[in-house]
Amino acid sequence: MIQVSDFHKSYGNTIAVEGLSFAVNAGEILAFVGPNGAGKTTTIRTLAGILAPTRGELIVAENNIVTHPIAAKRNLAYVPDDPKLFDSLTIWEHLQFIASAYRLNDFQPTATQLLEQFELQDKRDTVAQELSRGMRQKVAICCAYLHNPQVILFDEPLTGLDPRGIRTIKQSIQERAQAGAAIMISSHLLSLVEDLSTHLLILHHGRRLFVGSVEEARRQYTDLSADASLEEIFFRVTEG
């Protein structure tokens, strides 16, 4: 569902990402981790079609994001770390807008189910500027899920959420993967994404240090214990 080959991104003389290659298959949840400035958000924003790659090929659901952006984006959802909602629109109007953009028919039952799942039903007529940070995050995720994307990109999805909201979103991510979506999660909260992830990609200074399953990382770095945490793996790879 996601195929990145020899991806480079530079800004003038500054190299943000260099020679990155990886794949995410249907049903997989990739934890995309690295220190600040590693190139994670740049990679996700390029996969989402917001930035243009300097070089390389990025495929989303069998469509090149550069040469066939509309076809790729029909199968894609992107949830940034600070979703920019329309302040004067209600929650329900946001869902109506997304349904119109993706030309969805009979979206109302799905939209209602999403509002119930994320405990937003009683706020459906509230304008975005009156919502808390966590509620705005949940609205963005509802909008992302509405067209049932095959590829979902999350950039720090758990920021600003209370424990109940975190549990709801983690459950929803697992459900989407079980239904066949390919998911990437960029997060610094390693302990919170550890139980979600099937695979791990560690980026440092724009370069890939490791990609594979968590079990493969434990086997590759033999000084780690058999039950080493994602945090232990991260520090071993980036500082070892």
Per-residue pLDDT tens digits for 220-238: 876 777 778 888 888 888 8
Using alpha carbons only, what angle is made at residue 39 by residues 35 and 152, rounded to the nearest 5 degrees?
Answer: 105
Where are the domains positioned within the chain?
2-239
Q: What percent of the chain has pLDDT over 90?
A: 78
Given this model, what pLDDT does residue 237 score? 87
Given this model, what pLDDT does residue 121 score? 96
- Average of per-residue pLDDT across 102-107: 95
Query: Among the residues of the chain, which ranges form H helices?
Result: 40-47, 69-74, 91-101, 108-117, 133-145, 163-178, 190-193, 214-220, 230-239
Tell if the pTM clears 0.85, that is, is over it.
Answer: yes
Residue 240 — very low, low, confident or very high, per pLDDT cuts 50/70/90? low
Report d(CA 230, CA 115) in Å as an integer: 32
CA 133 to chain centre: 18
Whole-angstrom Cα Rg for the chain: 18
What is the average pLDDT value for the chain, to the nearest integer? 93
Residue 192 — very low, low, confident or very high, per pLDDT cuts 50/70/90? confident
The region that residue 197 occupies, defined by phi over 0 for left and psi between -120 and 50 for alpha, beta otherwise, is beta
Per-residue pLDDT tens digits for 150-177: 999 999 988 878 999 999 999 999 999 9
Instruction: Please state which architecture CATH assigns to domain 2-239.
Output: 3-Layer(aba) Sandwich (3.40)
Tokens read off for 232: 């232990």
Tokens read off for 210: 């490791």
Residue 204 — very low, low, confident or very high, per pLDDT cuts 50/70/90? very high
Given this model, what pLDDT does residue 191 score? 80
Return the minimum-mean-pLDDT range out of 33-47, 136-150, 172-186, 190-204.
Answer: 190-204
Per-residue pLDDT tens digits for 43-77: 999 999 999 999 999 999 999 999 999 999 999 99
- Average of per-residue pLDDT across 82-93: 95
Report d(CA 94, CA 36) in Å as an integer: 31
